[in-house]
């Protein structure tokens, strides 16, 4: 199809990261062969793997590789047992993941949540509430809000007189958004809504937060450029409730950073398992190029790491998003998505989506799932 070399930095990270990344690469090699692509996939350590290799969660050499690549295919980082042993700022979540998001200006996080019919049993909602099917895209702002706002610190404060003597601390996080930050993520949400069912629900807490009031005003102003997209606004607490009561009302959900973090996990549970949820994090376009970062939304799951139990589908679908958004390769992306659909339809299930009561289902490990999906790509 194309002789261009597509440069991919593969950062598997910790926990189940390496084993699910292995399967994603297996599937990428299958589409490479089928569509005549040239993928240059280079692995580098990140997270605890980075700390163990060279003392930093994001080693300089890994960052240099990312800069020299077209995009990053990321696994997951952080190990709850080890994280408390080093200062907060040096831990993988902050020093690698949040730093990469900031470094590459990855402000737009897309998390598609789709429940395949065959996995209706894995969804915690009744069939009635699942309606004709759950198909939601969470658009999460990723480089602003409370996760990055300054000041961000914990400081000791004097205990008030008369209080028993012990240390008192005050923790401060700052939620801050500017008009342009809200505008650019709103444009992403409206543009993607146009490719879907043209319905956008903007989430905020405008009844309490200054940030919420500004968010609502700016999103409303941007909506005038998209008269063909139906916009409504919802407070985040109501949104969390509506997601479980009537998820079929949603098409695109636009959220600031923290609300998107929370609601995307909730939405993922509706899709059967966090192990099914891919994500794309995109920066601003420079020319015709958008730098992208692709990762499963689930974490490192250390409890099941290295045991061939993890579901590799979120990582594999993240690779499909990568082909689509970073390289404009829609056909190979669809090929991966269809292969996943075929294998699910054939009854293969990792533990997270397996139910003994489902007839025709067969429980498989990480490797067998990945191998089956790669085989379904065909030649």
83 touches Mg ion (CB under 5 A): no
Q: Taking CB within 5 to 8 Å according to partner kind, which of ligand IPM, Mg ion, none is near residue 138?
A: none
Q: Pick between residue 271 and residue 335 the one whose CB is nearest to ligand IPM.
A: 271
Among 251, 261, 337, 352, binds ligand IPM (CB under 6 A): 261
User: Is 261 one of the annotated active-site residues of the chain?
Assistant: yes
Q: Pick between residue 118 and residue 261 the one whose CB is nearest to ligand IPM.
A: 261
Residue 348 beta carbon to Mg ion: minimum distance, rounded to whole angstroms? 27
With residue 264 as reference, give the H or E element that holds it: helix 257-270
Q: Which of residues 67-106 bind ligand IPM (CB under 6 A)?
A: 93, 97
Q: Which residues of 236-255 are buried (b: 16+ CB within 10 A; e: fewer)?
A: beebbeebeeebeebbbbbb
User: Is 34 one of the annotated active-site residues of the chain?
Assistant: no
Backbone angles phi, psi at 337, to 5 degrees: -60, -40
User: Is 83 one of the annotated active-site residues of the chain?
Assistant: no
Per the CB < 8 A criterion, the answer to whether 206 and 220 are in contact is no
Q: Pick between residue 137 and residue 364 the one whose CB is nearest to ligand IPM.
A: 137
Q: Pick between residue 39 and residue 262 the one whose CB is nearest to ligand IPM.
A: 262
Q: Pick between residue 93 and residue 308 the one whose CB is nearest to ligand IPM.
A: 93
Per the CB < 8 A criterion, the answer to whether 20 and 296 are in contact is yes
Between CA 149 and CA 17 the distance in angstroms is 29
User: Is 265 one of the annotated active-site residues of the chain?
Assistant: yes
Between CA 186 and CA 221 the distance in angstroms is 10
Q: Taking CB within 5 to 8 Å according to partner kind, which of Mg ion, ligand IPM, none is near residue 23?
A: none
140: which strand partners? 109, 255
* Burial label, 75 (beta-carbon count in 10 A; 0-12, 13-18, 19+): buried
Q: Pick between residue 95 and residue 193 the one whose CB is nearest to ligand IPM.
A: 95
Q: Taking CB within 5 to 8 Å according to partner kind, which of ligand IPM, Mg ion, none is near residue 333?
A: none
Residue 232: count other Cβ atoms within 10 Å of its Cβ. Answer: 9
Q: Is 241 helix (H, G, I), strand (E, B) or coil?
A: helix
Residue 276: count other Cβ atoms within 10 Å of its Cβ. Answer: 27
Alpha helices by DSSP H, listed for 79-131, are 92, 99-103, 127-130
How big is the site for Mg ion, counted in residues (CB under 5 A)? 1
Structure tokens given for 87: 């200062």
**Whose CA is closest to 204, among 123, 121, 260, 153?**
260
SS percent in the chain: helix, strand, coil, step 5: 45, 25, 30
User: Is residue 360 left, alpha or beta, with left meaning phi > 0 and alpha meaning psi from -120 to 50?
Assistant: left
Residue 75 beta carbon to ligand IPM: minimum distance, rounded to whole angstroms? 12
The DSSP bridge pattern shows strands 71-76 and 108-114 to be: unpaired
CA 93 to each of CA 83, 241, 296: distance values in angstroms, whole numbers, following the listed order? 9, 28, 14
256 touches Mg ion (CB under 5 A): no
Query: Which among 48-56, 67-75, 259-267, 344-352 is the span making contact with Mg ion, rule CB under 5 A?
Result: 259-267
Q: Taking CB within 5 to 8 Å according to partner kind, which of Mg ion, ligand IPM, none is near residue 97?
A: ligand IPM
261 touches Mg ion (CB under 5 A): yes
Residue 179 beta carbon to ligand IPM: minimum distance, rounded to whole angstroms? 23
Q: Which of residues 286-305 bind ligand IPM (CB under 6 A)?
A: 297
Of 70, 83, 114, 205, the active-site residue reads: 205
Query: Which among 92-100, 254-262, 266-274, 360-368 is the span making contact with Mg ion, rule CB under 5 A?
Result: 254-262
Residue 41 beta carbon to Mg ion: minimum distance, rounded to whole angstroms? 26
141 touches Mg ion (CB under 5 A): no
Of 261, 294, 352, 354, the active-site residue reads: 261
181 touches Mg ion (CB under 5 A): no
Residue 117 beta carbon to ligand IPM: minimum distance, rounded to whole angstroms? 27
Active site residues: 147, 205, 237, 261, 265
Residues that bind ligand IPM (CB under 6 A): 93, 97, 261, 297
**Contact positions vs Mg ion (CB under 5 A):** 261
């Amino acid at each position: 199809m194309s002789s261009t070399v597509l440069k991919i930095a593969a950062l598997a990270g910790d926990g189940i990261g390496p084993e699910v990344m292995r399967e994603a690469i297996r599937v990428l090699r299958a589409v490479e062969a089928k569509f005549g692509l040239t993928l240059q996939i280079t692995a580098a350590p990140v997270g605890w793997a980075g700390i163990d290799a060279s003392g930093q969660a994001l080693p300089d050499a890994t960052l240099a590789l990312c800069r020299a690549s077209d995009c990053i295919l990321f696994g997951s980082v952080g190990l709850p047992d080890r994280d408390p042993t080093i200062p907060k700022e040096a831990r993988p979540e902050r020093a690698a993941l949040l730093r990469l998001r900031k470094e590459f200006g990855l402000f737009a996080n897309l998390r598609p949540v789709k429940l395949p019919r065959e996995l209706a049993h894995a969804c915690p909602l009744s069939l009635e509430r699942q309606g004709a099917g759950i198909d939601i895209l969470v658009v999460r702002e990723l480089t602003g809000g409370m996760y990055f706002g300054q000041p961000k610190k914990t400081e000791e404060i004097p205990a008030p007189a008369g209080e028993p003597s012990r240390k008192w601390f005050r923790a401060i996080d700052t939620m801050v958004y500017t008009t342009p930050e809200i505008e650019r993520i709103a444009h992403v949400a409206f543009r993607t809504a146009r490719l879907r069912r043209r319905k956008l629900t903007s989430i905020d807490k405008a009844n309490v937060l200054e940030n919420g009031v500004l968010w609502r005003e700016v999103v409303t102003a941007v909506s005038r450029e998209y008269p063909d997209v139906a916009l409504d606004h919802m407070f985040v607490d109501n949104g969390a409730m509506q997601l479980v009561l009537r998820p079929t009302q949603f098409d695109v959900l636009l959220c600031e950073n923290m609300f998107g973090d929370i609601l995307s996990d909730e939405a993922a549970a509706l899709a059967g398992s966090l192990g099914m949820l891919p994500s794309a994090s995109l920066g601003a376009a420079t020319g015709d190029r958008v730098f992208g970062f692709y990762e499963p939304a689930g974490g490192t799951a250390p409890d099941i790491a290295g045991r061939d139990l993890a579901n590799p589908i979120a990582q594999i679908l993240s690779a499909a998003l990568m082909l689509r958004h970073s390289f404009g390769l829609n056909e190979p992306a669809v090929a991966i998505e269809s292969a996943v659909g075929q294998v699910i339809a054939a009854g293969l299930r990792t533990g997270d989506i397996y139910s003994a009561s489902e007839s025709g289902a067969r429980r498989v490990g990480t490797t067998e799932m990945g191998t089956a999906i790669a085989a379904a790509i065909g030649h």
